[in-house]
Amino acid sequence: VAEASFQLPFIKGWCPTVFEPMTASDGLLASLKPRVKGWTPAELRLIASEAQRHGSGALLLTNRANLQVRGLTAESAPRFAAAVANAALASADANAERRRNILTDASMAPELEALASQLENWLERETTLAALPPKFLFAVTAVERQLADICILAAGTQWYVIPDNADLAVQADEPLAAVALLTQAFIRLASEGQRMRDLIAEVGCEVLFREAGLKAVAFAPQTRIQPTSDVGVLDPQRFAIGVPFGRLDATRLLAIADLAARFAKGRVRLSAHRSFVITSLKADVIEALSAHAQEHGFIINAEDSRLRIAACSGGSGCGNSVVSMFALAESLAPFWRGQSTLHLSGCAKGCAHPRAAALTCVAEPTSNRFHILKNSRADGRSAFSLSAAELPQFLAQESLS
Ligand code: SF4
């Protein structure tokens, strides 16, 4: 891959890819998007080695099931991009890579994987989609409606195609055809910077379906505030390993590769719940796999409260907050016993959890106080604030309410 295809925008808030890294406090960060089929242990080792060679070795799993590679420099970031693109771990073309935003179920049936792969191929080759916003996200799922711009949901023998924020859906035998029509209609109707939910809030979903030439059926909207704690044994073939707050390094990524090579015969997927899903397990490996995963500091118990805390990289990884959010999350985890999501955000942008959470604590820019919000996004209105010292007792009380 020619380094000429590499761009360095240095724009805060940019949605990064490997070709378009973003500036952060700890250097440039590139977001590596897994292919639908996942990564082999050998590919994980290559990623770990290139992240160590070209970056700081710090990595972060995101809520879009991407892997951030951090601590790159203006010189090393193009070399990292070339290394992963040459190994076919990213699209060869920077524009195609920007469009390739697909969220899938961690435990995906073969027919869903086939459909998601077709969607991936379409996004990579369809240059008429250049006008899509960089964060425009597609989801393919059989579990529950995902908060993506366009979600393909398999429900029994039916396929539904559901735009974000819509209470109507297309029931389709050929879901990708409906996805293409809805996407093109979105491009014609949306103004610059709008996502699907903004467009539907402005014009209503009937306008979108009419523009797409599609007949819609009623579909109850769902907002996912309750997290799914998908770690440990998912089924006899799959085991999910949780990463506390998504934070790891190249050494621990190598550990994941070793576990997958030793205890399974398949690929490794990322989930939006900040976990690695090891597929095609060998027989009778659960006990040993669990023990080794725990030795490396990973989460295998669905009751672990860290699975229900979303924290951003504020402090060491983002200059928008003076508070080290990961350290705060680790210290508060013993006090959060609720089954719903606690969102600790370094500022109102809410990177770690862009939607509503049961409880959100947003750091003030210059003091050690936090705005408290209930059932809200980080940019909502807060009724009161607490100091860092007051948070543990408050969280313990809230967990019980
Ligand atoms: S939410 Fe956190 S990571 Fe995002 S901009 Fe604010 S401080 Fe930075």
Residue 297 tokens read as 């500091």
Residue 5 tokens read as 């295809």
23 within ligand 1 shell (Cβ under 6 A) = no
**Cα–Cα distances in angstroms (integers) from residue 97 to residues 79, 100, 269, 370, in the given order:** 16, 5, 18, 37
Confirm if 95 and 110 have CB atoms less than 8 A apart: no
User: Coil, strand, or helix at residue 11?
Assistant: coil
Beta carbons within 10 angstroms of residue 37's beta carbon: 16
CA dist 157 and 8 (Å) reads: 45
CA 36 to ligand 1 centroid distance, Å: 28
Per-residue pLDDT at 12: 44
CA 347 to ligand 1 centroid distance, Å: 5
E-assigned strands of 25-90?
A: 27-32, 58-61, 67-72
SS (H, E, C) 238-274: EEEEECHHHEEEHHHHHHHHHHHHHHECCCEEEECCC
347 within ligand 1 shell (Cβ under 6 A) = yes
Per-residue pLDDT at 224: 43
Per-residue pLDDT at 222: 53
**CA nearest 184: which of 212, 161, 157?**
212
360 within ligand 1 shell (Cβ under 6 A) = no
* Residue from 31, 318, 343, 370 to probe ligand 1 pocket by mutation (most atoms less than 8 Å from CB): 318
270 within ligand 1 shell (Cβ under 6 A) = no
Q: Judge residue 379's burial from the number of C-beta atoms within 10 Å of its C-beta, 0-12 exposed, 13-18 middle, 19 or more buried.
A: middle
CA dist 378 and 281 (Å) reads: 39
312 within ligand 1 shell (Cβ under 6 A) = yes
208 within ligand 1 shell (Cβ under 6 A) = no
φ and ψ at residue 376, rounded to 5 degrees:
-145, 160
320 within ligand 1 shell (Cβ under 6 A) = yes
- The model's pTM is 0.90
CA 318 to ligand 1 centroid distance, Å: 6
Confirm if 69 and 55 have CB atoms less than 8 A apart: yes
104 within ligand 1 shell (Cβ under 6 A) = no
- Upper half-sphere CA count for residue 324 (Cβ side, 13 Å): 8
Residue 105 tokens read as 């179920």
313 within ligand 1 shell (Cβ under 6 A) = yes
How is the beta sheet containing 247-249 ordered, strand by strand? 22-24, 27-32, 67-72, 58-61, 247-249
**Cα–Cα distances in angstroms (integers) from residue 37 to residues 40, 112, 149, 268, in the given order:** 9, 11, 21, 8
Residue nearest to atom 6 of ligand 1 (CA): 347
pLDDT digits (tens), the chain, 401 positions: 434 344 444 344 468 999 999 999 999 999 999 999 999 999 999 999 999 999 999 999 998 999 999 999 999 999 999 999 999 999 999 999 999 999 998 767 888 999 999 999 999 999 999 999 999 999 998 877 677 999 999 887 889 999 998 889 999 999 999 999 999 999 999 998 899 999 999 999 999 999 999 999 987 645 443 345 589 998 899 999 999 999 999 999 999 999 999 999 999 999 988 999 999 999 999 999 999 999 999 999 999 999 999 999 998 888 888 889 999 999 999 999 888 999 999 999 999 998 899 999 999 988 789 999 999 999 999 889 999 999 999 999 998 77
